[in-house]
Amino acid sequence: MPPRKPAKRKPSGTPRRRRGVKLKPAGLAPADLALDPLPSELAPLAEAVAGDGGRVLAAYREPLGGHALMLVALPLDQIVPTPFQRDISDTHVRRLTQAMDKTKRYLDPIIVVREPTEQGRYWTPNGYHRLTALKELDAKTVVALLVPERGVAYQILALNIEKAHNLREKAIGVRRMYRDLAGSLGGSEEDYALEFEEPALATLGFAYEKRGRLSGGSYHPILRKVDGWVKGKLADAVEERERRAELLLAFDDAVTAVVDGLKQRGMTSPYLRAFVVARVNPLRFIKGEPPPLDELLPSMTKRARGMNLDKIKSGDIARTGGPPPEAGE
């Protein structure tokens, strides 16, 4: 038997290529980035900045895709967070305020798109905490990177990693984004797969809209296996997402009734909900393609409603284990 040839190894220092990433960088050298004088296509936006009381400090092409950006100074009161952004964290704002107070410097420009609203002239998709910290410090001006394309505001949320989202925050953010996109830019769900991340988050987001204290973490693993993108225009898909959310809420009602019944019998384990969901979940016994969401959730709801609580023992629940409920749910 001939000796096996050793596998070829990439030279040390070779950049890793991520699966699914198709981008080819523009290949711009440092000298190619400056935009001086200002290109004619940016002139109307620059005039709008001046009319809003701001000033363009510089214009350049970002080095990856070669897209034009402007570094601008803007009045603080002209900037508001995007309506689909996560809620503010007071702890994070406090830390930012203390750091700025110590350094006496603001060194991290926020990103904005020009989107005139009643509250301000610009949206920031990733600078809500810095914006709030500057307001607490009574600053009057903020330095920002102005992106000419409005749609990029939705994509930028995927780059926002200053504070990890929990499941509830992710789902609510997707729902807010979903409703805004459905009423403005249009397109289909799959067109915004990057922004929405996964179909399950869309259904959970619409469910959280109707029930803020939903224990979404208990249902997310199931939805990930059976939920899918809705075909057609985003505006038309809203009704379908609301319908799927109603199926989930009906299941939650059935599970909650069982959990309450078990508590009345003296069972107080933090894993009660996980136990009930596991008891009525048939997916672990199904090989191959799982049933569609429209079939699975009503079936699990019916099984939960038919559970005989008298046959459940504390030891059954203890053996279920699993992670505790997600914080805030």
For 81-113, the pLDDT digits (tens) are 887 766 778 888 888 898 888 889 988 899 999
Range scoring the smallest mean pLDDT among 20-29, 108-117, 206-215, 253-262: 20-29
Asked if 56 and 68 touch (Cβ cutoff 8 Å), the reply is no
Q: What confidence tier does 183 reach under pLDDT thresholds 50, 70, 90?
A: confident
Q: Are residues 271 and 220 in contact, defined by beta-carbon separation less than 8 angstroms?
A: no
What does DSSP assign to residue 70? Answer: E
Query: SS3 string of 108-174?
Result: CCEEEEECCCCCCCEEECCCHHHHHHHHHCCCCEEEEEECCCCCHHHHHHHHCCCCCCCHHHHHHHH
87 vs 9, residue with greater confidence: 87
Q: Is the peptide bond before 44 cis (omega within 30 degrees of 0)?
A: no
Percent of the chain with pLDDT over 70: 86
How many CA atoms lie within 13 Å of 241's alpha carbon, on the beta-carbon side?
33
Q: Say yes or no to pLDDT of 77 above 60.
A: yes
The whole-number pLDDT of residue 150 equals 79
Q: Which residue has the higher pLDDT, 187 or 54?
A: 54
Cβ atoms of 86 and 172 within 8 Å: the answer is: yes
**Can you tell me the mean pLDDT for 142-163?**
73
Q: Kindly state the DSSP code that residue 283 receives in the 8-state scheme.
A: G
Tell the residue number behind the tokens 């939805």, with chain if given: 223
Length of the chain, in residues: 329
Could you tell me which residue, 104 or 158, shows the higher pLDDT? 104
Q: Where in the chain is the domain with CATH 3.90.1530.10?
A: 34-158
pLDDT band at 36 (very low <50, low <70, confident <90, very high): confident
Partners of residue 123 on adjacent β-strands: 80, 113
pLDDT of residue 301: 96
Say whether pLDDT at 269 is over 70: yes
Q: Which fold has domain 34-158?
A: 3.90.1530
Report the alpha-carbon distance of residue 215 to residue 325 in Å, rounded.
Answer: 7
Q: Does residue 329 carry a pLDDT above 50?
A: no
Q: What is the mean pLDDT of the chain?
A: 85
Indicate the pLDDT class of residue 159, thresholds 50, 70 and 90: low
pLDDT of 317 > 70? The answer is yes
Question: Rounded CA gap, 50 and 149, in Å?
Answer: 18
pLDDT band at 327 (very low <50, low <70, confident <90, very high): very low
- Going by the DSSP 8-state scheme, the letter that residue 240 receives in this structure is H
Q: Of 126-130, 238-242, 258-262, give the lowest mean pLDDT range.
A: 126-130
Distance of CA 223 to CAs 215, 293, 302, Å? 13, 8, 17
Highest mean pLDDT: which range of 127-131, 142-146, 149-153, 196-200:
142-146
Average of per-residue pLDDT across 229-244: 93
The whole-number pLDDT of residue 231 equals 92
pLDDT higher than 80, residue 66: yes
Distance CA 297, CA 292 (A): 9
What does the pLDDT read at residue 10?
Answer: 56
The answer on pLDDT for 164 being more than 60 is no
- Asked if 102 contacts 138 with a C-beta cutoff of 8 angstroms, the reply is no
Question: Per-residue confidence at 75, pLDDT binned at 50, 70, 90?
Answer: very high
| pLDDT exceeds cutoff 70 at 13 | no
